[in-house]
Amino acid sequence: MSDAPLLAHSLAEACLYIMATPCPSCGRGPLRDGEPGPIEDAAPGFTVSVPATCGSCQAVTRLRFQLPAPPQAVPAYQVPVVNPTNEPSQIVDLAQWITLFRMMTENAGKEEDKAAARMLSLGAAECLDEALKFYDDADNDLPPVEAFFGKDSRDRFKAHPEQFSRRRLLHLRSKLPTPWPMRPDQQSKGTTS
């Protein structure tokens, strides 16, 4: 693994990358993120180190991410913005976004607390929004092969291209909630994320 930090749009994207990445030691997982270390000021952005523990073999890996800005406080009732740009992720590929979407919708379906279930559904919606950023050709319902970063993802696309239909993802997205706008009186309340 390279010493160069991975380019992430936000700390939220870095944490989702950890959830979607197999353990480098055993190849299984899932990886779980820990408390990020101090943020280093480095041109052209900010670097943060995040420990990731494998749920299978318990190996701990420290991953470094370069962020364009330091993490900001996020109100407790809002999902952190993963990527405020129209550019697709450079670290989480299309297949991983769909996997994250499935994980969150499954967890939302099991959640008894309605507010927690809504937060998971909002996170799932954001994963689909990120997946849809990979579709660069308006005339093609399938994504470009460059939307898949690893062999496993490319193999999944080749075996089941119908799972990656833009129409299908838009249909799934239409069933999920959209975030409420933040009220001005709530802008000062929040947690860092």
pLDDT in tens, 2-49: 578 999 999 999 999 999 998 888 988 778 877 777 666 665 678 888
How much is the average pLDDT of 148-163? 96
* Best CA proximity match to 169, nearest among 119, 108, 123, 124: 124
Q: What is the pLDDT of residues 78-107, one digit of tens each?
A: 888 999 999 999 999 999 999 999 999 999
User: Domain locations in the chain?
Assistant: 6-69, 94-174
Task: Read off the pLDDT of each residue in 110-126 and give the average, rounded to a whole number.
Answer: 95
Q: What's the confidence (pLDDT) of residue 43?
A: 58
CA-wise closest residue to 127 among 106, 150, 151, 154: 106
Residue pair 124/108 in contact (Cβ under 8 Å)? The answer is yes
Quick one: tokens of 120? 């998971």
Name the pTM for this structure.
Answer: 0.86
Residue 27: per-residue pLDDT? 86
The answer to whether residues 15 and 21 touch, using CB atoms and an 8 Å cutoff, is no
User: Which amino acid does the sequence have at 86?
Assistant: N
Per-residue 3-state assignment (H helix, E strand, C coil) for the chain: CCCCCEECCCHHHHHHHHHHCCCCCCCCCCEEECCCCCCEEECCEEEEEEEEEECCCCCEEEEEEEECCCCCEECCCCCCCCCCCCCCCCCCCHHHHHHHHHHHHHHHHHCCCHHHHHHHHHHHHHHHHHHHCCCCCCCCCCCCHHHCCCHHHHHHHHHCHHHHCHHHHHHHHHCCCCCCCCCHHHCCCCEEC
Whole-number pLDDT of residue 14: 93
- Tell me the mean pLDDT in the region 56-69: 91
Return the higher-pLDDT residue of 77 and 15. 15
pLDDT in the model for residue 129: 97
Q: Tens digit of pLDDT for each residue in 156-186?
A: 999 999 999 999 999 999 999 987 654 444 4
Distance CA 161, CA 143 (A): 9
